Structure 1
Amino acid sequence: MNKGKILVVDDDRLVLATLAYGLAQAGYDVLDADNGDDAILLAREHRPELALLDIRMEGLSGFDVAAYLRDHLRVPFLFLSAFSDDETIAKVRALGALAYLVKPLDMQQIVPAVEAAFAHRPQPQDLTPVPLAPTVATAPSPVLDQQVVAIAVGVLMHRYSLSRGAALERLKKLSEAENRELAEQALRLVEAVELLAQPANVK
């Protein structure tokens, strides 16, 4: 029986594979990503009910992903990290994580924590997503624009093995070539990637 859909994010692929396999065996529908940029794209496309996030990753951190999930998709989350310093704990609390698990942990500890998080997550009616793109009646948000640009830069980094600076420069050149605002060009890129990621409708 499917217990729910969970997004698992960790830049250590061995840890990621272990988590994904263990949670799938426990009855969850698992989406997995090894970086924050892909995690956000997966979350926007598949709308998980819960996310399990590593914190320190190249590019967007687990904190960045958590803030996006909370503010724009209303997806609750918990953290899994090797770090337990006061600053990290304070940030975890400020973001509103359902739980904070300190590595190393085995699946016998993680599965009960995930089950408890599912049991205490907000109800579906409280998870109404906020659109990424500004609507006609809404003025563009500078913070929202920055998040879209960050996602697009991350996409370019991972797709073309670029540094963050080189990816941003490429995005700027694309926007200049098409005479578009940087955030608009970033949104077009993100939407194009999402479109390509959707399965073909084969009858």
Structure 2
Amino acid sequence: MASGLAASLRGMKYEVVGPVSDGESAVKACIEHPVDLALLDIRMPGMDGLEAAATIWTEHRIPSVIVSAYSDDRYLSRATRTGVFGYLLKPVSTDNLRVTIAIAWSRSIDQFETRRRVDQLEGTLAQRKVVEQAKWCLVSKLGVSEPDAHSMMQKVARDERRKIVEVASDVLAGKLPPGNHHPPISGQGNSLRNASAAESKPHAPEPRD
């Protein structure tokens, strides 16, 4: 049966690795060769096809199609919880094989994209949390306002051509922005300094008669 499937796949212009005789060999073949999809029987020596499919998907993100004579509910239930994206009952026609592979590949791509978007969203939220924590760390340690703390990190990021989350990570590790990145003293403070300086100047002596 495996040799017949391999011949059918070659007839559809697919490159074929195998066939192999057991689940462990199937997993090893997927690791050693750049395969895009695995066709697996359920009943194989040692590791069965469903366990192999789960390993191949979980560890290597390679989708599988099960080809089996068994349609028991217990097999179908396991298949829905693993990296199985298609299920074919023997005997398998070339047309069914072609259609199932196309659908399985499309479904796996959709799942890849969904996972990528989830990972991206989780990464963005995690970065925002780091920046927020660093901002309040600066507020606490330097006595600056929240907007000034954020501006300080933005300026360091621009000057050093780094991402703001990297600067925020430094802040949380205890590395505060250098002095030249501190927010400017307010205009009122400058006026007070100037006033003090003016008052400290000696007065010219008054002319005598």
TM-score (norm 2): 0.50
**Structure whose residues are more often strand by fraction:** 1
- Determine which structure has more spread, i.e. the larger CA radius of gyration: 2
CA shift, 1:96, in A, is: 4.1
What is residue 86 of structure 1 aligned with on the other side? Answer: 73
**Structure 1 residue runs without a partner (length 5+):** 1-14, 128-203
Q: More helix by proportion, 1 or 2? A: 2
For 1:168, the equivalent position in structure 2 comes to none
Which string of whole-angstrom CA distances, capped at 9 and with x for unpartnered residues, describes residues 142-195 of structure 1? Answer: xxxxxxxxxxxxxxxxxxxxxxxxxxxxxxxxxxxxxxxxxxxxxxxxxxxxxx
Select the structure with the greater relative contact order (CA < 8 A; seq sep ≥ 6): 1
Alpha-carbon distance in structure 2 between the residues aligned to 1:20 and 1:58? 20
1:90 CA displacement = 0.6
- Secondary structure of the structure 2 residue equivalent to 1:29: coil
Which of 13, 19, 23 aligns to 1:27? It is 13
Q: Distance in 2 between matches of 1:58 and 1:23?
A: 24
Residue correspondences, number? 113
What amino acid sits opposite 1:17 in the alignment?
Answer: S
Q: What amino acid maps onto 1:20 in structure 2?
A: A
- Give percent identity, aligned residues only: 30
AA paired with 1:105?
V
Per the alignment, residue 61 of structure 1 pairs with: 48
**What runs of 5+ residues in structure 2 fail to find an aligned partner?**
117-209
The one-letter amino acid of 1:22's match is S
* Matching residue of 2:37: 50
Aligned CA-pair RMSD: 1.9
Q: CA deviation at 1:118?
A: 2.1
- CA separation in 1, counterparts of 2:93 and 2:65? 16
**Aligned with 1:110 (options 78, 97, 116):** 97
Q: Residue 121 of structure 1: CA displacement? A: 2.0
Query: What's the CA shift for 1:49?
Result: 0.9
